[in-house]
Structure 1
Amino acid sequence: MLKDNKFVRRLFGEQFDIQHRLLNIILLVGILGVGFACLNSVIMKQNIYTQIFSFVSLILFIIIFWVANKLKHVQLSVIIFSIVFNNFVLPGLFITSGGIEGGMPLWCLLGFIFPFLLIKGKRCIPVFIIGITEFIALIIYSYYHPEIIMKMDNMKTVLIDMVITMIAVVVIIASIFRYQTYVYEKLRKTIIKSIREANEAILQKQDFISNVSHDIRTPMDSIIGFTEIAKKNMNNPEKLADSLEKISRASGHLLNLVNEVLDMSKIESGKSPVEEDVCSIHAIIDNVSQILQHEIDHKKLKLELDYSMLDEDVLSCDNLRLNQILLNIMSNAVKYSYEGGTISVSVIQLSSDDESKIINEFHIKDEGCGMTPEFVEHVFEPFARDKSSPVAAEGTGLGLTIAKSLTEIMGGTIEVTSELGKGTEFTVTVPLSIPSLTEIEEEQDIFIYDFKGRHILVVDDNELNREILVEALREENFIVDEAIDGSFAIEKLRDNQPGTYDLVILDLQMPVMDGYETTRIIRSFKDPKVAQIPIIALTADALPEEKTQAFNCGVNAYLVKPVDMPSLLKVFMLFFRENKRS
Structure 2
Amino acid sequence: MLKNNRIIRRLFGEQFDIQHRLLNIIILVGMLGVSFACLMSIVLHQNSFTQILSFTCLGLFILIFWIANSLKRSQLAIIVFSIIFDNFILPSLYIASGGIEGGMPLWCLLGFVFPFLLIKGKSSIVVFIISISEFIALVIYSYYHPEIIMKMPSIKMVYFDMVMTMIAVVVIIASIFAYQTHIYQKQQKAIIKSVREANSAIKQKQDFISNVSHDIRTPMDSIIGFTELAKKNINNPEKLLDSLQKITLASDHLMNLINEVLDISKIDSGKSVVEDEMCSIHEIIDEVCQMMQHEVEKKKLKIELDYSMLDEDVLSCDRIRLNQILLNLVSNAVKYSYEGGTITIAVIQLSSDDESRIVNEFHVRDEGCGMTPEFIEHVFEPFARDKTSLVSAEGTGLGLTIAKSLTEIMGGTIEVVSELGKGSEFTATIPLSIPQLTEIEEEQDIVIYDFKGRRVLVVDDNQLNREILVEAMREEGFIVDEAIDGSFAIEKLRDSEPGTYELVILDLQMPVMDGFETAKIIRSFQEPKVSGIPIVALTADALPEEKTRAFNCGINAYLVKPVDMPSLLKVLMLFFRENKRS
Q: TM-score range by the shorter chain?
A: over 0.9
> Could you tell me which residue of structure 2 aligns to residue 329 of structure 1?
329
Secondary structure, counterpart of 2:100 in structure 1: coil
Distance verdict in 2 for CA 1:243–1:34, change over 3 Å: same
Unaligned ranges ≥5, structure 1 = none
Q: CA deviation at 1:235?
A: 2.4
Give the length in aligned residue pairs: 579
For 2:89 and 2:4, how far apart are their aligned partners in 1?
36
For 1:567 and 1:120, how far apart are their aligned partners in 2?
65
Deviates more, 1:344-353 or 1:447-456: 447-456
Secondary structure, counterpart of 1:504 in structure 2: strand
> Could you tell me which residue of structure 1 aligns to residue 194 of structure 2?
194
- Give the letter for the 1:169 counterpart: V
Q: CA deviation at 1:369?
A: 2.5
TM-score, normalised to structure 2, is 0.93
Unaligned ranges ≥5, structure 2 = none
On the 8 A contact 1:369/1:391 being kept in 2, the answer is: yes
On the 8 A contact 1:449/1:579 being kept in 2, the answer is: no
On the 8 A contact 2:223/2:251 being kept in 1, the answer is: yes
On the 8 A contact 2:449/2:573 being kept in 1, the answer is: no
- Give the letter for the 2:449 counterpart: D
Residues 136-535 of structure 1 aligned to structure 2 (within 5 Å)? 136-441=136-441, 444-445=443-444, 447-448=446-447, 450=449, 452=451, 453-535=453-535
Q: CA deviation at 1:451?
A: 5.4
- Give the letter for the 1:330 counterpart: V
On the 8 A contact 1:2/1:8 being kept in 2, the answer is: no
For 1:359 and 1:2, how far apart are their aligned partners in 2?
39
For 2:194 and 2:552, how far apart are their aligned partners in 1?
41
For 1:569 and 1:433, how far apart are their aligned partners in 2?
32
Secondary structure, counterpart of 1:100 in structure 2: helix
For 2:2 and 2:312, how far apart are their aligned partners in 1?
55
Q: CA deviation at 1:21?
A: 0.9
For 2:203 and 2:3, how far apart are their aligned partners in 1?
35
Give CA deviations for 1:458-515 in whole Å, capped at 9, x if unaligned.
2222222222333333344433332222222222232233433333332222211222
- Give the letter for the 2:512 counterpart: V
Distance verdict in 2 for CA 1:502–1:357, change over 3 Å: farther
For 1:507 and 1:579, how far apart are their aligned partners in 2?
23
For 2:141 and 2:232, how far apart are their aligned partners in 1?
106
Distance verdict in 2 for CA 1:346–1:144, change over 3 Å: same
Secondary structure, counterpart of 1:275 in structure 2: coil
Distance verdict in 2 for CA 1:260–1:154, change over 3 Å: same
Q: CA deviation at 1:61?
A: 1.3
For 2:466 and 2:561, how far apart are their aligned partners in 1?
12
Give CA deviations for 1:162-218 in whole Å, capped at 9, x if unaligned.
233222222111111111111111122222222233333333333322222211111
Secondary structure, counterpart of 2:538 in structure 1: strand
On the 8 A contact 1:3/1:9 being kept in 2, the answer is: no
Q: CA deviation at 1:327?
A: 0.9
For 2:42 and 2:530, how far apart are their aligned partners in 1?
92
For 1:566 and 1:151, how far apart are their aligned partners in 2?
103
Q: CA deviation at 1:574?
A: 4.5
Give CA deviations for 1:310-341 in whole Å, capped at 9, x if unaligned.
22111111111111111111122222222222
> Could you tell me which residue of structure 2 aligns to residue 72 of structure 1?
72
> Could you tell me which residue of structure 2 aligns to residue 37 of structure 1?
37
For 1:2 and 1:155, how far apart are their aligned partners in 2?
47
On the 8 A contact 1:90/1:107 being kept in 2, the answer is: yes
On the 8 A contact 1:44/1:157 being kept in 2, the answer is: no
TM-score, normalised to structure 1, is 0.93
Deviates more, 1:35-44 or 1:59-68: 35-44
Q: CA deviation at 1:303?
A: 2.0
Residues 83-122 of structure 1 aligned to structure 2 (within 5 Å)? 83-122=83-122
Q: CA deviation at 1:567?
A: 4.0
CA RMSD across the alignment: 2.3
For 1:41 and 1:526, how far apart are their aligned partners in 2?
93
Distance verdict in 2 for CA 1:565–1:17, change over 3 Å: farther
Distance verdict in 2 for CA 1:571–1:127, change over 3 Å: farther
Percentage of identical aligned residues: 78
